[in-house]
Structure 1
Amino acid sequence: MPLHVQASPGDRLVARETASIGDLRVMLLRFACSNFRSIKEKQEILFTAAKHVKEHDEAARTVDGLSKERVLPVVALYGANASGKSNMLKALEFFQRGVLFSQFEWNSGINRQPFLLDFALKDQASSFEIDFLVGGVRYHYGFVCDDKAVLEEWLIATSKSGPRVWLHRDAEGTSQYRGKIRDQGQAIKKAGFERENVLALTLLMQGKNSEMEGIHNFFSRKIDFNYPDQESDETLSLAYDEAIWSDVNKLLANADSGIEDIKIERTTSTYFNVFDESKNSTSYRQEPIFRHTMAKPDDYFKKNQESHGTIRLFNLSGPALMALRTGSCLCIDELDASLHTMLSRAIIRLFMDPKTNPKGAQLLFTTHDTNLLSTDVLRRDQVWLTEKDKGGATHCYPLSDFKTKPTDDIEAGYLAGRFGAIPFLPPWRSLIGGEG
């Protein structure tokens, strides 16, 4: 479903949807974890709207399966350097990979990275849990593990008829399968496929079951991650799709980057084959090349000739446009890295506006850009703050927990330390040994 991106007044990029609006079928509602990297006690982030927050009311979505809650399309994580905001994304990524690949990646141990500033926690369990929506059914899934084994695991499905426990597994290795996965679970037990270091959900998703197919689709196709140093492979892979590649071109052109056209250049290199001295081997590599507005028709610049900002926007454009097309959740670490505030705002607004985001795509990102704290960009329940206590443990809480007035300058209040989650520095001269 192509999105045609065109410029409009100010800093906004508006995408025009040309096909029918789809149902909001798959959405992330909540994620929580404990004893992972800098996260000691259980911390959570929510994509459900706070009832007392009224700004940008149109952004909070009403979704089948949630009668009393609405879902937010964007959540931002703020905090000082090393406050642990990126660790919330890394915890979600560890969780996702565990669900998909525990059968293969956990054979030699579970690399869970416990909180190390409290020695006692090294041998204590870590926990991870998620709430998500698939086809009008709310699922609550989680597991507890240490370095060697899964100690507990559960899956609860809540539909119009109420909550049902489909899966429960305890530290003694006893597992119970009920509801729509009962027969499949019993077959797994009978075949002897259960192992202490493999998640039951990993095994369940390999069977033919419509419910499990929906859950597998959520974990495998509806959560994507992007990091500042990530290469452009994901955007490059979209070049075969004429409609979305056209949107990548339009996105960069409308971002005032000076880019008029982007093509893919395929290069080859030959190297000595150590296994067969009579033959040389050839490798192929694809790289984007860029033509600027004032350049001659055949003059294209290579990637290493472009600015960091242009390359960062190119690397983000593919994942962002695909998320909008498929209704998935894109998790970006350091959205503001090499990007101007106006471009960050434009990306956020593509997800915030129901007209440009009819599939219910979601955006979770970390940032230091305080210009985005204005309530004309984000609701207060979309801003989550992270800070460390004296013991080095991360705490995560929403801005909506604080009483604010519509006239309050949120950015100024944040920088003044009203909401926490900022670095507290001594007088600047003392930073390098001078007098305060």
Structure 2
Amino acid sequence: MIIQLRFSNFYSFAEGTELSFELGKKPTPSAYDIEIGGTRRLNKALAVIGANGSGKTQFIKPLAFLSWFISSSFLGSKPEDPVPFHPHTFKREEDSLFEITFLLDNEEYRYKLIANRKHVVHEALYKKTSHLFSYVFVREKTESGYDYKQQGFGFPSSQARNIRSNASLLSAAHNYDVPMASTFVEYFNKYSFNLNVSGRQHFHGGNVLESAEYFFKHAHFLSDMERMMCDFDLGICSVKIHEAEGKDDQGRSTKVFVPVAVHECENMSFELPFFEESSGTQSAFVLLRRILPVLENGGVAIIDEIDNDLHPHMLPHILELFKFEHTNPRQAQIIFTCHTPEVLNLLKKHQAYLVEKIDQQSEAWRLDEVTGLRADDNLYAKYMAGALSAVPNL
């Protein structure tokens, strides 16, 4: 579970920015709370709202970047590749900072990365011991290469110092079969997102086929997906996935998995391929492929523009999946951006971030940071009236 993310000099965010799932002692308990040891609470759900171009996507993108960098950068990039992010235009020559604090197996850890497009400057993992954090490993760039120290991490210095400069040491250690590294890679692999380090993965037909293949190969999710698609009142009574022969980009034969919706009316039925269904139906299908594994296995769903092509009435049903133990037994979390201000009627002020861009620099704040904003205030009405800012300047 994520506790907090801090970052700076990342895309439109030039200054230090904080994204926190942690609650103080004052907020009234809600169904979106995670109780930690009886003394702390974390949010299960966070919404990010703001005008077009304000930086909403950039605000959640560090989570996708860190998930990829920690788990896949060693094998997923070439030695000559740049580290795949961009600093703020005004600070393109400066390093960027990322620091994420999270819970894993009831232990609190902090991962810190300082990097630029050319190389990692500093990478470290810390574990909380009593009220302080002690290092598990620290990797520091020097003029001659990298310094490295570790405490019980299990990755030999001779190998660690030679890891290439555009890859994570955690990712490399995992591929060298270091058990502790694999534990953290497995954790970050549970982050599910519809955006990559370059931005949102815009919807296309391939998403539908990939989702269909996933459900076909993970049949235990199939019935949940089918039930929810029917519950969304899309006129669908069941979903089938047909296996067919197709061609890949090189013209070679390959398996293709085609989802089909079954519709019934007055004792008659017909099948309609998902590609002939509405964009909203297809989007709901793809969204469930992202969310259902997180709900079952634990982790974090990071969804950009969750309301894209979806009717606003579907959003409460998606969020409710994270509320209850029977649908969210492992306390999964979700953070999402949207353009639907009605979401403020579903969440409390400590569960909503607003994002605004001023002088080409994005800023973000959680609504419980706004002075004078009461817990029983109508957040939607205040936002629509412009009292909370982060609205289009038309």
Cross-structure match for 2:114: 144
Match of 2:321, SS?
Answer: helix
Cross-structure match for 1:266: 243
Q: Is the 8 A contact 2:349 2:379 kept in 1?
A: no
Match of 1:408, SS?
Answer: coil
Question: Is the alpha carbon distance of 1:272 and 1:128 closer, same or farther for their aligned partners in structure 2, counting shifts above 3 Å?
Answer: closer
Question: Is the alpha carbon distance of 1:352 and 1:235 closer, same or farther for their aligned partners in structure 2, counting shifts above 3 Å?
Answer: farther
Question: Is the alpha carbon distance of 1:272 and 1:102 closer, same or farther for their aligned partners in structure 2, counting shifts above 3 Å?
Answer: closer
Q: What is the 5 A alignment of 1:169-248?
A: 169-172=139-142, 173-181=145-153, 183-189=154-160, 193-220=162-189, 222-226=190-194, 227=201, 229=203, 231-232=207-208, 233-248=210-225
Q: Could you list the runs of 5+ residues in structure 2 that have no partner in the other structure?
A: 195-200
Question: Is the alpha carbon distance of 1:158 and 1:422 closer, same or farther for their aligned partners in structure 2, counting shifts above 3 Å?
Answer: same
Cross-structure match for 2:363: 395
Q: What is the 5 A alignment of 1:246-285?
A: 246-269=223-246, 281-285=252-256
Cross-structure match for 2:197: none
Question: Is the alpha carbon distance of 1:406 and 1:100 closer, same or farther for their aligned partners in structure 2, counting shifts above 3 Å?
Answer: closer
CA distance in 2, matches of 1:149, 1:262: 47
Q: What is the 5 A alignment of 1:92-111?
A: 92-104=63-75, 105=77, 107-108=79-80, 109-111=82-84
Q: Is the 8 A contact 1:50 1:381 kept in 2?
A: no
Q: Is the 8 A contact 2:109 2:127 kept in 1?
A: yes
State the AA in 2 paired with 1:131.
T
Following TM superposition, by how much is the alpha carbon of 1:157 offset from its aligned partner in structure 2, in angstroms?
A: 0.6
Following TM superposition, by how much is the alpha carbon of 1:103 offset from its aligned partner in structure 2, in angstroms?
A: 2.6
Q: Is the 8 A contact 1:110 1:148 kept in 2?
A: yes
103, 124, 130: which one pairs with 1:154? 124
57, 82, 87: which one pairs with 1:114? 87
- Does residue 325 (structure 1) correspond to residue 293 (structure 2)? The answer is no
Q: What is the 5 A alignment of 1:317-356?
A: 317-356=288-327
Q: Is the 8 A contact 1:153 1:170 kept in 2?
A: yes
TM-score (norm 1): 0.81
Question: Is the alpha carbon distance of 1:242 and 1:281 closer, same or farther for their aligned partners in structure 2, counting shifts above 3 Å?
Answer: closer
CA distance in 1, matches of 2:248, 2:323: 49
Question: Identity, % of aligned pairs?
Answer: 24
CA distance in 2, matches of 1:340, 1:267: 31
CA distance in 1, matches of 2:112, 2:192: 19
- Does residue 49 (structure 1) correspond to residue 26 (structure 2)? The answer is no
Cross-structure match for 1:411: 380
270, 281, 286: which one pairs with 1:315? 286
Question: Is the alpha carbon distance of 1:199 and 1:284 closer, same or farther for their aligned partners in structure 2, counting shifts above 3 Å?
Answer: closer
State the AA in 2 paired with 1:114.
P
State the AA in 2 paired with 1:107.
P
Q: Is the 8 A contact 1:152 1:171 kept in 2?
A: yes
CA distance in 2, matches of 1:212, 1:272: 36
Question: Is the alpha carbon distance of 1:160 and 1:205 closer, same or farther for their aligned partners in structure 2, counting shifts above 3 Å?
Answer: farther
CA distance in 2, matches of 1:133, 1:373: 27
Cross-structure match for 1:4: none
CA distance in 1, matches of 2:180, 2:247: 48
Following TM superposition, by how much is the alpha carbon of 1:297 offset from its aligned partner in structure 2, in angstroms?
A: 6.3
State the AA in 2 paired with 1:315.
V
Cross-structure match for 1:61: 34
CA distance in 1, matches of 2:131, 2:375: 40
CA distance in 1, matches of 2:56, 2:193: 14
CA distance in 1, matches of 2:92, 2:248: 47
CA distance in 1, matches of 2:83, 2:156: 23
- In angstroms, what is the RMSD of aligned CA positions? 2.4
Cross-structure match for 1:36: 10
Following TM superposition, by how much is the alpha carbon of 1:218 offset from its aligned partner in structure 2, in angstroms?
A: 0.9
Cross-structure match for 2:198: none
Following TM superposition, by how much is the alpha carbon of 1:296 offset from its aligned partner in structure 2, in angstroms?
A: 6.8
Cross-structure match for 1:77: 48
Following TM superposition, by how much is the alpha carbon of 1:224 offset from its aligned partner in structure 2, in angstroms?
A: 0.7
Following TM superposition, by how much is the alpha carbon of 1:269 offset from its aligned partner in structure 2, in angstroms?
A: 4.5
Following TM superposition, by how much is the alpha carbon of 1:142 offset from its aligned partner in structure 2, in angstroms?
A: 1.6
CA distance in 2, matches of 1:270, 1:236: 15
Q: Could you list the runs of 5+ residues in structure 1 that have no partner in the other structure?
A: 1-26, 274-279, 426-436
Following TM superposition, by how much is the alpha carbon of 1:44 offset from its aligned partner in structure 2, in angstroms?
A: 1.9
Following TM superposition, by how much is the alpha carbon of 1:270 offset from its aligned partner in structure 2, in angstroms?
A: 6.4
Q: Is the 8 A contact 1:177 1:185 kept in 2?
A: no
Cross-structure match for 2:96: 126
Following TM superposition, by how much is the alpha carbon of 1:268 offset from its aligned partner in structure 2, in angstroms?
A: 2.9
Following TM superposition, by how much is the alpha carbon of 1:89 offset from its aligned partner in structure 2, in angstroms?
A: 2.6
CA distance in 2, matches of 1:337, 1:270: 30
State the AA in 1 paired with 2:57.
S
Following TM superposition, by how much is the alpha carbon of 1:50 offset from its aligned partner in structure 2, in angstroms?
A: 3.0
CA distance in 2, matches of 1:187, 1:157: 23
